[in-house]
Amino acid sequence: MELTARYLPAEDGMNVGGDWYDVFPVEDGEYVGVVGDVTGHGIHAAVTMGQLRTALRAYSVHERSPAALLGLLHRLLDRLEPDLFATAVIVRFRPGDPHVTLASAGHPPPLLRDASGEAAPVEADSGGMLGLPIDLTFTDNRVEVPPGGALLLYTDGLVERRGEPIDTGIARLRACFGDASRRSRGPRRPRTGCWPRRCAGTPATMTCACWCSGPCRPRNDEGAGCRVWAPRPFPSPRIRSR
């Protein structure tokens, strides 16, 4: 198994915001990964993001369930910054094991791609946004990443465009994510330009992380969002971040 991630800050303003990703080891050879997004832009959102990122690492020392970790972050944010909210997906995984456990808090759905290149949103129970002034319940979902497959987590900056529903952007990303795998098995072709680009005058910070069952190979299909990654066979699991 291999992980690759990318953070691309907004082009305008101070280039800071609330998007984040992280991956770190826990007990028994497992890892916890997260992609999240604090509402708003600027220093306030960035500072809150840093606090949530640090808190997740601390909570993970004693808690293994992604759903329970989201519950802890929800209660922390409600007390820490009542005027800010956040979305996040947390995954727990073990290199070499195709099964991952994930939980979502109001976040865009992860995309799962199989070895044939077919990609689809993960059908997982999702709780509300972190920090809402209500009691929330989060659910652990077990997902299998098949050999040669990949799991993609991302923030809404990758799929949102002004004037269109977010579902349209997710469908575009789904097609691109699947097409990248099919192109990797054939001759190289020029970029198709199907990655979402920023809307004029709208700052957008984009973060994505991809878990591949086998190493993630970069392709030259990069627009303003994440690079397209496709798996290739590799005998031993490894994790990398960029």
Give DSSP secondary structure letters for 9-76: --SSTTS-EEEEEEEEE-GGG-EEEEEEEEEEESHHHHHHHHHHHHHHHHHTTT---HHHHHHHHHHH
Between 66 and 19, the higher pLDDT residue: 66
Closest CA relative to residue 213, chosen from 154, 150, 152:
150
| CB distance 88 to 38 below 8 Å | no
**Mean pLDDT across 129-138:** 94
How far are the Cα atoms of 41, 142, 153 from residue 62, in angstroms, in the given order? 32, 20, 24
- Residue linked to tokens 């306030």: 44
Distance CA(68)–CA(81), nearest Å, equals 20
Q: What is the pLDDT of residue 62?
A: 95
Give the model's confidence band at 129: pLDDT under 50 very low, under 70 low, under 90 confident, else very high: very high
Give the model's confidence band at 116: pLDDT under 50 very low, under 70 low, under 90 confident, else very high: confident
Rounded to 10 degrees, what is the CA torsion of 130, 88, 46, 162? Answer: -100
Whether the predicted pLDDT of 26 surpasses 60: yes
**Mean pLDDT across 78-86:** 92
| Domain ranges for the chain | 2-231
Considering the chain, what is the average pLDDT of its residues? 78
**Mean pLDDT across 155-184:** 82
Q: What is the pLDDT of residue 188?
A: 46
- pTM for the whole structure: 0.79
**AA identity, residue 151:** L
Q: What is the pLDDT of residue 40?
A: 81
Structure tokens at 5: 């991630």
Q: 180 φ, ψ to 5°?
A: -60, -40
Whether the predicted pLDDT of 17 surpasses 70: yes
**Mean pLDDT across 90-109:** 93
Count of residues for the chain? Answer: 242
Q: CATH assignment of 2-231?
A: 3.60.40.10
Q: Is 111 helix (H, G, I), strand (E, B) or coil?
A: strand
Q: What is the pLDDT of residue 185?
A: 55
Q: What is the pLDDT of residue 95?
A: 87
* Residue range 191-229, pLDDT digits in tens: 433 333 333 333 345 566 776 765 554 443 333 333 333
Structure tokens at 4: 């690759």
Whether the predicted pLDDT of 238 surpasses 50: no
